[in-house]
Structure 1
Amino acid sequence: MQARRSVRPGPALAGLLLAAALALTGCSGAADDSGGGNDSAKGGAAQSRNEAAVGPGAGDFSAEKGQRADKPPKATASHIIRKASLTVRVKNVPKALDKVRSVTEDAGGYIGNETTTRDGKGRERTKVVLRVPVASYADVLADLEGTGKLLERTAKAQDVTEQVVDVESRIKSQRASVARIRDLMDEATKLSDVVVLEGELSTRQADLESLLAQQASLKDRTSLATITLSLSETPGKKAAAEDDDPGVLDALAGGWGAFLTMLRWIVVAVAAVLPFAAGAALLVFLWLRLVHPRLTVRRERTPAPTALGPLPTARPAPGSDDD
């Protein structure tokens, strides 16, 4: 009887379990790989959709926006009209005026208006209007105050930035409007249309010129400050004496002044009486030369009366020549 070999199931079962384990491990790795690939695809698709929605260069725009956020906003240039008025008292107006001219010219400005007058006491007074660049406005004011004694000062500043911006915007729009009218005129074929467009062009051109004039005026007033300066002479005053008690020289000066005053009044009185004195002298001369001698002769011929009557006249003797 042949002996049968017995097969042990342990090694076969172990090999089968190992093969199954390897198979399961491979399937799970494949599933993991396929899942990871799907997620990556989904992420890439989402990113592509975001990029497509934002547009190309979105990253650069974000970076540029961050840089712009770091920079401060650009400030609009201010436009200010500056005016000032000064009243200064000086010893000599012409010399002070020469200094004012030199200061103004050195600053790059000019004198717009000048008026000179004199009061009842002969003191000179000058009023000038200066136009100087705004950059030199403060320096010119300081130099003008140093020409003499400052009596009065007023200053005013007016911000016209909004007005300047508004005029510039209106000029831009008006120029575009004029350009459109000209384009329509070039395309017009009817005479009536050309006439209407010419009238409209003339009106808009006039409006544009008015806006340009406003712009020029604002530019002139904002670029050049206006200073009105009044110069007046110092009134003459006698120097006060250091000592209140008058001295010898003061007494002599006072006496001499009184003597001159008296002599002046005497001369005035003599001049006033002289015509009458000349007339009286003429009357006296005529009296002594003509009237008085005749009266004397008449008195000598007339006998003097007595208490008993007039004296008898002597009769001539007989045989005399009187007979």
Structure 2
Amino acid sequence: MSRRVLWVGVALMAVFATGCSANSKDSGGSAVAENAAPQQRSAQTPGAQKPQDNSGQQNQSAQSVQQQERQLVRTATVDLRSDDVLRSISEIKTKAQQAGGFAGQENSTKSYGTVTVRVPSNELDGVVKGLEQFGEVTRSEVRSEDVTDQLVDVEARIATQKASVERLRVLFERAGTTAEIAQIEGELTKRQSELESLQRRSETLKGKVALATLTVQVSTTPIAAPVPEKTGFLGAFAAGWDALVHVLRLVLVGVGGLLPFALVFGVPTVALIYWLRRRKRVTRPAEAKA
């Protein structure tokens, strides 16, 4: 029985090592195949006289495909001035729904409000442009984050994890003892949990790529633009001065908080000490005369 458990442990280690090296082997094999295939085709084609020109065209086409397949997470922030904040926010939500999106968080009053909507990424520019009909746009900022490498990495890890889970299931079906079943089941549960976590991460990234996030701040008065951060010597000096003022303010607040306690307990204590010292001075001359 101990030998069977030992063999199961060896099999689990082999599954783990195979899963870790699957990506490197697959990528290495595909790279060799891709490099070898053009050479074989050029050698077999009798009329191939300018392979350099063809490779240049292939590189350009590959680059264009890569540019088209870039996965971007787009976000936008717009500041809007409007005489009717509540109406403008309602119109912004309607605009997002018409574009195929939906409204998210909202916090509004009669004088100021903010709303966050999700719209398809390819509709973001049009929605931002259309906000001009709901008020005066005082600031507009659109940002993009490339998550292509993250998605490729997650998808590769998902494929490797799926293969590892399948191999563990095969071992689980072949297990014959309780110890083997418990050992394989524990590892299978761990791998399945990791696989589900990777799948959730992939879905989250794909959701962010598919739907852009637009945050609109609406106010009856123009919203002040954010002050750019100071850099260099002046920025460091200003930061240090602000820190010094903050520390002094905290010290004054602490002194102000302790002052009532000092008046209540400190004054009687000082008076008692003074009285005791005076009493000792009066007692000592009397003892000396005696």
Structure 1 position 113 matched with structure 2 position 105: yes
Structure 1 position 183 matched with structure 2 position 170: yes
Separation in 2 of the partners of 1:197 and 1:65?
Answer: 58
Provide the alpha-carbon RMSD of the alignment.
2.5
Q: Normalized against structure 2, the TM-score is what? A: 0.55
1:129-180 CA distance string (max 9 Å, x none): 0100001010001011332112222222110100000000000000000000
Name the SS for the 2:100 alignment partner.
Answer: coil
Separation in 2 of the partners of 1:194 and 1:64?
Answer: 61
* Alignment correspondent of 2:96: 104
Q: What letter corresponds to residue 106 of structure 1 in structure 2?
A: Q
Q: What letter corresponds to residue 179 of structure 2 in structure 1?
A: S
Identity of aligned residues (%): 32
Separation in 1 of the partners of 2:150 and 2:219?
Answer: 38
- 1:99 Cα deviation from its structure 2 partner: 1.9
Q: Normalized against structure 1, the TM-score is what? A: 0.49
Separation in 2 of the partners of 1:211 and 1:180?
Answer: 18
1:90-130 CA distance string (max 9 Å, x none): 1112322232122111110000111113xxxxx42111001
User: Gapped runs of 5+ residues in structure 1?
Assistant: 1-57, 118-122, 236-323
The structure with the largest alpha-carbon Rg is: 1
Separation in 2 of the partners of 1:78 and 1:162?
Answer: 9
1:260-280 CA distance string (max 9 Å, x none): xxxxxxxxxxxxxxxxxxxxx
Structure 1 position 91 matched with structure 2 position 83: yes
Note the 1:1-323 alignment, pairs <5 A: 62-63=44-45, 69=55, 71=58, 72-73=61-62, 75-76=65-66, 77-117=69-109, 123-234=110-221
- 1:62 Cα deviation from its structure 2 partner: 2.9
Q: Quick one: structure 1 residues 195 and 61, their matched pair in 2 at CA, closer, same or farther if it must change by over 3 Å? A: farther
- 1:59 Cα deviation from its structure 2 partner: 7.3
Q: What letter corresponds to residue 73 of structure 1 in structure 2?
A: A
User: Gapped runs of 5+ residues in structure 2?
Assistant: 1-39, 223-290
1:158-213 CA distance string (max 9 Å, x none): 10100000000000000000000001111111221111000000000010011011
- 1:64 Cα deviation from its structure 2 partner: 11
Q: Quick one: structure 1 residues 181 and 61, their matched pair in 2 at CA, closer, same or farther if it must change by over 3 Å? A: farther
Aligned residues: 173
Q: What letter corresponds to residue 194 of structure 1 in structure 2?
A: I
Q: Which has the higher contact order (CA 8 A, sep 6+)?
A: 2
CA contact (8 A) 2:83 2:220 kept: yes
CA contact (8 A) 2:118 2:211 kept: yes
